[in-house]
Structure formats: structure tokens, C-alpha cells
Amino acid sequence: MPPYSGAQKQQIAQFVNFTQAKDTVAAKFLKSARWNVQEAIDAYFQSPQGGGASNSAINAIFDTYLDSPAEDPDTIGIDGAMKFFGDIQVQLDEVTCLGIAELLKSPSMGEFTREGFLNGWRSVGCDTLDKMIAHASDIRSRIPTQPELFRRVYRYTFPLCRMQGQRNLPFEIASEQWNLFFTPDHGGIAWNTTTTPWLDWWVEFLEARGKRPVNKDLWEQVEVFMRKTREDEAFGWWSEDGAWPGALDEFVEWVGKKRGGWRLSR
């Protein structure tokens, strides 16, 4: 492959961005410049502008985990996904697993598309298993300490775990995920404190309400509520006029009763 100047890489970037190197004119231009189309694309993506990762290398890794290469060459299924997680040293019962799913835009649990796999790993400059292992380890360390990352992964988990054709999460699945995200054992954040078993009480409260399905708004606001209670367990921030889901309004009153008739300070 010939060396590429900054100007040449800029030209390649323009063709990749606007024509994906499929346009006939673009292909002829590259050919006249003695550039192989795939090599040109790889050169672009190995440049800083392209994220520093090789398309072909990531695609090759993807291909090794295909469950049915002939029937579905662009999808890694459950068997391949489990092997891949094992190879990048990620356990299936840790939040990091969901962090990788969010990065690669998995359409459902245990499934990767070629497009999501390629775009995700390319965006963080990972085109070898060693780099992917290192990035997974980095995600593992950052999820509990970076609220924005935690929230992004947490919110992505809702559509990821939702059953096909359903708008809400079954209570059992939501409860399982809350126990993952809101305990430190598997890479989450501790919601239970020395004075209040928040997570335990929240699950107990919902069980008493009949284990109703959890909608998107409640799912997202629980994470916000969790952070608020960690900051101030006395609910100094709480307002009945706030736009909280009804279940959380009821939970606040329920907590007051659990505390022996404790009432909110208005």
C-alpha cells in the first residue's frame, strides 16, 4: 500500500463519507490514482480521522464468531456472542457486558450485527482482541465512576432487554437488571446504604404492587431517583409537584411508613 499524504487521506475521507467508495466515479478516481478501494478505506480508518482502527481487521474478528456464516453472514448469534464475551474477558452477569452491548449497538441480548460491531470498535480504535480486552477493562472501571456512561448503558438496557413486540419490561427482568446495576458485586453502584436498604425496599414495594411491567419512563427515572437518594436520604430534594412517575411518588410515602411514621419535611 502506498503512503498517503494528509491531502490524500482527506480526499479518501470525502469519498468514504459521501460515496462509501461504491460510486463508479469514485472507484475510477481511486483506480487512476493506483489506489485499491479497500486499501484506501483501510488507510482512512487507520488515520486519526477514522478512529485509528482497521475495517478489515475488525471484520475478520467478526467473521470468526458467526454462528451461520452461509445463512447469516452479518449477524453473530447467542453462541458466537457468548464465545466473544469470553474471549474479551467479560462475564455475562456483569454490567460491563451491557456496556459492550451499548457500544456495539446490539439489537437484542446475545446478538451483534456487522454494522454495529464494526462501527463500535472502530469508534474506540480497537481492531485486535487484545485492544478489545483492554477497552472492556476500561469500561468496567469507568461505569461505576462516570455517571454519564452509567446512565447511557443503563438506558440502553431497557430496549435491549425488552421482549420483541413489547413496550415494557416484565417485572422479573427489570428486577434482575436493577440488582445488577444497583449493587457493586458485578460492576454497578451500591444503592443500599447503612441506614436504608433502598434497592431491597424498592423491589419489595413493587412486588407488593403486583409486579407490574415497567415502562420506559419509570425505568429511566429510577436511576435518577437512585442518585438523588444517595445524595440526600432525607428527601430534602423531593417535591410532590415534581414530574416523577406515580410509582415513585407512592414509594416515597411507603418509605415513610417503613421508617415508622416518618414524614417528609416540606
- Domain with residue 174: its CATH number is 1.10.238.200
Residue in the block written with cell 475521507: 13
Q: What is the pLDDT of residue 39?
A: 52
Identify whether 265 is part of a domain.
no
Q: Is 208 left (phi over 0), alpha (psi -120 to 50) or beta?
A: alpha
One domain for residues 170 and 252: yes
The answer to whether residues 42 and 61 belong to one domain is no
- Is 264 part of any domain? no
Do 41 and 62 sit in the same domain of this protein?
no
In a domain, residue 153? The reply is no
**Residue 186 sits in the same domain as residue 129:** no
From the DSSP assignment, how many helices (H) and strands (E) are in the chain? 13, 2
**In a domain? residue 161:** no
pTM of the model: 0.79
Same domain membership, residue 172 and residue 255: yes
**Domain with 110 in it: what CATH number?**
1.10.238.10
Element (H, E) at 75: strand 75-76
Q: Same structural domain for residues 83 and 123?
A: yes
Same domain, 193 and 248: yes
pLDDT tens digits along 12-66: 555 555 444 445 555 555 455 555 555 555 445 444 444 557 899 999 999 999 9
DSSP, residue by residue, 146-168: -HHHHHHHHHHHHHHHSPTT-SS
Does a structural domain hold residue 152? no
Q: How far apart are CA 125 and CA 194, in angstroms?
A: 42
User: Residue 233 gets which letter from DSSP?
Assistant: T
Element (H, E) at 112: strand 112-113
Q: What is the pLDDT of residue 190?
A: 97
Same domain, residue pair 60 and 36 = no
Residues 99, 178, single domain; the answer is no
Q: Are the CB atoms for 266 and 240 separated by under 8 Å?
A: no
211: which 3 cell numbers?
Answer: 409486579
Q: What number of other Cβ atoms are within 10 A of residue 239's Cβ?
A: 10
Range of the domain at 111: 55-143
Q: Give the count of domains, the chain.
A: 3
Note down pLDDT in tens along the chain; length 266 residues. 444 444 444 555 555 554 444 455 555 554 555 555 555 554 454 444 445 578 999 999 999 999 999 999 999 999 999 999 999 999 999 999 999 999 999 999 999 999 999 999 999 999 999 999 999 999 999 999 999 999 999 999 999 999 888 999 999 999 999 999 999 999 999 999 999 999 999 999 999 999 999 999 999 999 999 999 999 999 999 988 888 999 999 999 999 998 886 555 44
pLDDT at position 25: 55
Q: Are 26 and 19 in contact (CB under 8 A)?
A: yes
d(CA 57, CA 248): 48
Domain presence at residue 157? no
pLDDT tens string 151-168: 999 999 999 999 888 999
